[in-house]
Amino acid sequence: MLKASALYIVIIIALVIGILCSSLIVAAYFYRNEYQKKFRYDRLQNNINSGVNILLATPDTAYSNGNTFSLYNDDEDSVSLKKIFWGIYDVGSSIAFAQKDTLYKTFSIGYNLDSAKWAALYLIDEDRPLSLSGKTSIIGDVYIPKAGVTTSYMDNKAYQGDQRLIIGAKKISKKTLPPLLAARLIQFHQFSQQTHNGDTSVSRKDSVVQSFLLPTKYVNFKKEAQNISNIKLIGNLILTSDTTITLDSTVIVKDIIVFAKSIKVKTGFHGNCQLFARDSISIDSNCRFAYPSCLGILRFGQPGLVPSQEQIFLGSKCSFAGIIFTYEKTESILKPTIALGRSVKIIGQVYSQGILTNIDTVEVDGSVFTSQFLYKSSNTLYKNYLVNLKLNAKGLSPYYLTGDLCPVAGQKKKVLQWLEAN
């Protein structure tokens, strides 16, 4: 027999319904909250990508000091854009914010290759033919002297490559190389003349990491030669020195820039960086430079009374992805040299204003622009002789981007690498 306790039962039912209703309200609140968060996120993503597109489509000088503005004159469409000089590339940062939400992206900017100017080889015309020997292969269009291309027997090596000699179109080169972009060289010159205040040492630190959203961090070693080892150097960081900087194989570098009188890199090093020197860059054997790296000799001053020869040397079995170049404003008697050791592999571009010395079995997937080749045998020097050089302009990735400094850079800017994002 059930007891007539209707009121109690109703109170219990009311409690259950109350709990159900409150959970319904809470669930609806969280659902709405999350959806609004996603909606804001989508909107900020669109704004941040709009910022990226604006940075890619505007001239280089705009946004160099940073600019915060509303994209569509709305309250919730604010973006902050900045583009900074970062060696042969630029680095852009796009920050979109609405209320307390902020999204950011930093990226390096590259240029597509101009197919009209692109060539596997550009050798200036010094009225001397290009001679091929050994297993040399050249794939891609070439600009060579009027004297043409021949085969030769040298150093006990006959030509054993393709009978067409050059697998691509042959065009006549000029007496000078296509010039490097003056505007970028001016930026380099201005940078080298500025005084960069910052730390004077990186000792007693295990890492220096600086975001591209923050101002550039400088480490100026001044006149003290530095041997950098056992440290992680990442991001918006520039090392400068009036003398020599040596990077040990224990250093982990990513995206940084080094400016010095001379730079040495020890055997076994691997990383991704841009190294610029006034006098020399010496890379020991078995080093790996990941894309996009750069090795550059830049000399803006007059050669001294006793001129020294600028040189980039890559030791045997090194692999390098990016751009190697030499530039001197005033030509000296001793031409700048890029020397490539045995079994060096380069993916990218070599631009030698002076001499390109290759020893043997060098492989370049990309292009070589040079005034002169110099081949060193055990006891003789040969001009414009190529021995066992593999040069393949089609070996580059279709996504390869270059810096605007190079004469083959196209007009369109693209995102080269995403550096940071949230």
Query: Vertex 402, ends 401 and 407: CA angle to 5°?
Result: 140
CB of 101 to another protein, least distance (A): 17
Q: Which residues contact 284 (CB under 8 A, 6 or more apart)?
A: 264, 265, 266, 267, 268, 269, 315
d(CA 96, CA 346): 38
54/138 with CB nearer another protein: 54
Judging by DSSP bridges, how do beta strands 319-328 and 288-299 pair with one another? parallel
Task: Report the C-alpha gap between 136 and 151 in whole angstroms.
Answer: 10
Contact status, residue 121 vs residue 144, Cβ threshold 8 Å: yes
Alpha-carbon span 409 to 250, nearest angstrom: 34
Nearest-approach distance from CB 20 to another protein, in angstroms: 7
Q: Which is nearer to another protein, 334 or 415 (CB)?
A: 415
> How far is residue 241's CA from residue 4's CA, in Å, rounded to a whole number?
95
Minimum CB–partner distance for residue 214 and another protein (Å): 26
Query: Which residue number, 2 or 7, has a Cβ lying nearer to another protein?
Result: 7
Least CB distance to another protein at residue 89 (A): 19
282 neighbors 313 (Cβ within 8 angstroms): yes
The DSSP 8-state label assigned to residue 216 in this structure reads P
Residue 4 or 333 with smaller CB distance to another protein: 4
Query: What is the distance between the alpha carbons of residues 312 and 370, in angstroms, rounded to a whole number?
Result: 14
List Cβ neighbours of 52 (8 Å cut-off, separation of 6 or more): 92, 94, 105, 107, 415
What is the smallest separation between the CB atom of 87 and another protein, expressed in angstroms? 24
Name every residue whose Cβ is closer than 8 Å to that of residue 158 and which is 6 or more positions away in sequence. Answer: 133, 134, 151
Closer residue to another protein (CB): 36 or 380? 36
- Nearest-approach distance from CB 420 to another protein, in angstroms: 21
Q: Which is closer to another protein, CB of 53 or CB of 229?
A: 53
For the bound state, the minimum distance from the C-beta of residue 17 to another protein, rounded and expressed in Å, comes to 5
Q: Which residues bind another protein (CB under 8 A)?
A: 4, 6-7, 9-11, 13-14, 17-18, 20-21, 24-25, 28, 31-32, 35, 39, 42, 46-47, 49-51, 53-54, 56-58, 71-72, 77
Closest separation in Å from C-beta 55 to another protein: 11
Comparison of 71 and 252: residue with beta carbon closer to another protein: 71
CA distance 250 to 225: 18
Q: Which is nearer to another protein, 51 or 161 (CB)?
A: 51
Looking at 266-388, list the stretches that DSSP marks H as alpha helix, in order from N- to C-terminal side.
none
